[in-house]
Amino acid sequence: MSRVKLNHITEDDLIEGTSLGRDAWLRLRKNRIAMISLWLLAVIVTLCFVAAWFCKDPNTINLTNKFAPPSADHWLGTDQLGRDLFSRILYGGQISMLVGFVATAVTLLIGISYGAVSGYAGGRPDALMMRIVDTLYAIPFLVLVIILKVVIAGLVADLAGWTVENLGWNKEFVFRFANIIPLFVAIGALGWLTLARITRAQVLSIKNQEFVEAARSLGLSNRRILFRHVVPNTVGTAIVYATLTIPSFILYEASLSYLGMGVEAPNSSWGILIKEGANFLETQPSLLIIPGLVFSVTLFSLNFLGDGLRDALDPKASKD
């Protein structure tokens, strides 16, 4: 009887199930500010990483055309050396965002592994590992980042020189990269503390659930259980938190560059553009205001998108 009935159900009668991701996406779509941020970010990222290839060379100096106003040739005018501001902003954005994203990836890697091992191990090792995190927490961040950056920069420069000499790599290319890698590593190596705490808390609540016990009764090794079964369940929360660290890392990069401890020529970043623009505040305020605006809008969108993602993926989390 029931079987006969089933045959009469048409597709319209079925209620489509929603997956976790789809559910979150629907919630995110309702959040207007987050959606605006998402679009803004998409535009900025596309401009910086795609459109930049079709722009003028950001390092071409033209001293006969300094401080030019916006024109068809130079959309946002030129700077104190006659370089095109528009393409400088796009190329600077590449570095700023790269630092934000790569440093965040580094913190994800360190933070998740550390937190997961600590939470899963429990007992003494856990207490010791968390004490270390507490200790590192109390250390002024910017102070250590600056020192660490100088140390790593020395090592990377040696390595870069070696690759050029012995492997015949392109010198200009190698040194451009050698200049930004220390920033990724220094910021990433010190920014993982909160992430480790969050992951540990997650692992503590997961490690006693049935599916972990099932995995254990199948005779899997601890390492396999931890990284194949427990950690994947913590990654979501970690990534949401990580979206919120991207803007703060971009800000750190800009601060370091502003202090002259960050990116060096021929690379540039938004921090450097702002720093240079501040020198010509009275003659040409747009050199500060335009990069400052692009920078702030990017941070704005990343923050709102991060907030939105957190609310969408975890509706129970408090909305401060």
- How far, in Å, CA of 52 to CA of 268, rounded? 14
- How far, in Å, CA of 270 to CA of 112, rounded? 30
**Residue 99 or 206: which CB sits closer to other proteins?**
99
Q: How many helices (H) and strands (E) does the chain have?
A: 13, 0
Nearest approach in angstroms of CB 137 to other proteins is 9
- How far, in Å, CA of 41 to CA of 303, rounded? 11
Nearest approach in angstroms of CB 139 to other proteins is 5
**Residue 115 or 247: which CB sits closer to other proteins?**
247
Nearest approach in angstroms of CB 198 to other proteins is 18
Q: Could you tell me which residues come within 8 angstroms of residue 41 by beta carbon, excluding any fewer than 6 positions away? A: 298, 301, 302, 305
**Residue 148 or 235: which CB sits closer to other proteins?**
148
- Site of interaction with other proteins (CB under 8 A): 135-136, 138-140, 142-144, 146-148, 150-151, 154, 157, 247, 251, 254-255, 258-261, 271, 274-275, 277-278, 281-282, 285, 288-289, 292, 295-296, 299-300, 303-304, 318, 320
**Residue 123 or 140: which CB sits closer to other proteins?**
140
Nearest approach in angstroms of CB 36 to other proteins is 13
Find out whether 181 and 99 touch, Cβ atoms under 8 Å.
no
- How far, in Å, CA of 149 to CA of 187, rounded? 8
DSSP 319: -
**Residue 84 or 307: which CB sits closer to other proteins?**
307
Nearest approach in angstroms of CB 296 to other proteins is 5
Long-range contacts of 5-9 (CB under 8 A, 24+ apart): none
